[in-house]
Structure 1
């Protein structure tokens, strides 16, 4: 994890390994800022959806007991939304560096879609 002090607080860039470990230990809440369509096709198991066009920092959960880590497809949208959250007083705030693309490249498990049935399925990359 890389930490940076920005004008409005502490900004963190988490790796897929950081996120996976913190999820397993129930230490974080992952918020996906991609579109509902992107989320429906595939997402990190347990992630909550708050699409970027509807993002409201004041609607984020508190960080009492669990930290917030935002993510998107490549890291660009989540970095932008994390900085908006920081400006709204959420401190510290984090995002998944490289987004869902980095998550999949790191061969992390996720929820995908069975295109034969349209049903969600757990994907365990090898």
Structure 2
């Protein structure tokens, strides 16, 4: 994990292994900040959707022991959303470095779209 101090708060960048492990242990709340269309095509199972276009940190839970980790396609939108969280008073927030692209490159499972049926399907990149 890489950490950056931003005005006394901590912006953390987690790698795929850290996110996958924490998600598997149910230690985090994973928030996908991509568009609804991107989420529909593919997403990390268990992730919740809060599109960057309407992202409002005040709707994120603060009364939980589970860390909030944000993610997007490449890590750029999730870092922007994480910085918005810090500006809104979060003391510590994390995002997935490299986003969905890094997740798939690492061979992690995700929910994709079965192009023959249009139905969701558990998949791995490869």
Q: Per the shorter chain, which TM-score range?
A: over 0.9
C-alpha displacement of 1:8: 5.0
* Runs of 4+ more than 6 Å apart: none
Q: Whole-Å Cα distance in 2 between the matches of residues 10 and 65 of structure 1?
A: 16
Q: What SS does structure 2 have at the residue aligned with 1:12?
A: strand
- Mapping 1:31-46, distance limit 5 Å: 31-46=31-46
Please say if residues 8 and 87 of structure 1, whose CA atoms lie closer than 8 Å, have aligned partners that are also in contact.
no
**Number of equivalent positions:** 126
- Mapping 1:17-28, distance limit 5 Å: 17-28=17-28
Q: Give the CA RMSD over aligned residues.
A: 1.1
TM-score w.r.t. length of structure 1: 0.96
TM-score w.r.t. length of structure 2: 0.96
- Mapping 1:74-113, distance limit 5 Å: 74-113=74-113
Q: Judging changes above 3 Å, is the alpha-carbon distance between structure 1 residues 78 and 64 closer, same or farther for their aligned structure 2 residues?
A: same
